[in-house]
Amino acid sequence: MSGSTFGEAFKITTFGESHGEAVGVIIDGITPGLEISEAEIQVQMDRRKPGQSSVTTPRKESDKVHIVSGIFEGKATGTPMMVVLYNHDMKSEAYSDIQNLFRPGHADYTYLKKYGIRDHRGSGRASGRETAGRVAAGAIARKSLEQRGVSIVAYTKEIGGIQCETYSEEVIEKNAVRACDPVAAEKMVKLIEGLAKEGNSCGGVVECRIRGVQPGLGEPVFDKIDADLAKAMLSIGAVKGIEFGAGFAAARMLGSEHNDHMNKDGFVTNNAGGILGGISTGEEIVFRVAVKPTSSISVPQKTIDVNGDEKPIVTEGRHDPSICPRIVPVIEAMACLVLEDHYKRQAALHA
């Protein structure tokens, strides 16, 4: 009801604010006996954390994973696992100057309108920091999915208009922007470094591929795999769009071009992006998300304050010129949550 819970059979609830004491998550529905270590979760957390490279915010968060409950002798007990990440390098004072201003592109105005009260430090629950709990939960879902033979990989496909033209999975984690094309990656890094100097930011496109899902996963009619993935992705702050398979290009195709034929070996093409009628076809599930340029920029902007008076604003803070590299593990995490949930729901249906 109040929006902080996701999933049904594999369910998470996140808590915590950007500049509060901690952020974290409760995960309920983990298969009992699943082996989980803080170190495994930390691997994913480190991919999301700030301060990784020249293209990410210099805010330092140790983002140290701490499991509080739901584990016994290295195995999930099947009861709620609470994972907490304490906040350290907060510098809330950086926000005192702008505490009464509505930062353009941020949720300051809408949160105040919704709640009538607002924690002005950082962005409270609307901060990207909230996603740390999702990544922790996603790491656990991923562990389970791996045992099911499912793999999930996301990567930057485009940043600031620069598109990847080759696809190599090995290079993704080896460049600062998590692009699938090392040549494009270099251009992207340069672009971002330039924008950082100007105090500006840019958007991009992240693509995700999910492999190993057998045909038949997903619930019609409202909880289609693509519907749930779309919700999952749009629940990430900076995401403004999603498309599956041929996506918006399908709008310009004929039926005779778009329909994926089948032969003995399965589907001949994959315009559907691995999903038909909301249910997995067994082909790769492919989708792309549109990521908006980071809202926090130090270019002067115009806004109003809580009294409605017009005011110039320059957001100092420490921010990512492009959020793409750090959103990649969040997208993967959300995809993992959706899939693990649907595997469990499928088991319930057939039980």
With CB under 8 A as the contact rule, which of the stretches 14-22, 47-55, 92-100, 174-182 interacts with a second copy? Answer: 14-22
Residue 295 marked ligand-binding: yes
Residue 277 marked ligand-binding: yes
Nearer to a second copy, 1 or 39 (CB): 1
1, 39, 165, 197: which one contacts a second copy (CB under 8 A)? 1
In angstroms, the CA 132 to CA 50 distance is 11
In angstroms, the CA 192 to CA 200 distance is 9
CA distances from 20 to 96, 127, 249, 296 (A): 15, 11, 43, 20
Sign of CA dihedral 296, 135, 84, 52: negative
Residue from 251, 177, 169 nearest 208 by CA: 169
Interface with a second copy: number of residues (CB under 8 A): 149
Longest dimension (CA), the chain: 68
- CB 16 to a second copy: min, Å: 4
Helix (H) or strand (E) holding 109: helix 108-115
In angstroms, the CA 269 to CA 15 distance is 42
Residue 318 marked ligand-binding: yes
With CB under 8 A as the contact rule, which of the stretches 43-51, 55-63, 174-182, 232-240 interacts with a second copy? Answer: 232-240
Nearer to a second copy, 170 or 349 (CB): 349
With CB under 8 A as the contact rule, which of the stretches 40-48, 54-62, 98-106, 174-182 interacts with a second copy? Answer: 98-106
Residue 125 marked ligand-binding: yes
CA within 13 Å, CB half, 85: 31
The SS3 of residue 302 is strand
- CB 57 to a second copy: min, Å: 14
Residues 162-221 that bind a second copy (CB under 8 A): 195, 200-205, 214-221
Residues 270-309 that bind a second copy (CB under 8 A): 272-273, 275-282, 290-297, 299, 301-304, 308-309
88, 173, 262, 314: which one contacts a second copy (CB under 8 A)? 262
The SS3 of residue 268 is coil
Nearer to a second copy, 124 or 329 (CB): 124
Q: Residue type for 287, please?
A: F
Nearer to a second copy, 170 or 351 (CB): 351
Torsion on CA atoms 346, 41, 124, 238, rounded to nearest 10: -70
Nearer to a second copy, 170 or 246 (CB): 246
Residue 76 marked ligand-binding: no
Nearer to a second copy, 64 or 170 (CB): 64
Residues 100-129 that bind a second copy (CB under 8 A): 102, 104-107, 109-111, 113-119, 123-126
Residue 296 marked ligand-binding: yes
Residue 293 marked ligand-binding: yes
Sign of CA dihedral 118, 124, 128, 134: negative
Contact 13, 4 (CB under 8 A): yes
In angstroms, the CA 33 to CA 183 distance is 44
Helix (H) or strand (E) holding 337: helix 324-350
- CB 212 to a second copy: min, Å: 15
Residues 54-93 that bind a second copy (CB under 8 A): 68-70, 72, 75, 77-82, 84
**Degrees (nearest 5) of the Cα angle 209, 214, 218?**
80
Our finding on whether 31 is near a second copy (CB under 8 A) is: yes
Nearer to a second copy, 18 or 175 (CB): 18
Residue 48 marked ligand-binding: yes
39, 93, 197, 261: which one contacts a second copy (CB under 8 A)? 261
The SS3 of residue 189 is helix
Sequence ranges of the binding site for NADP(+):
48
Residues of the binding site: 48, 125-127, 277, 292-296, 318
State the binding site for FMN: 125-127, 277, 292-296, 318
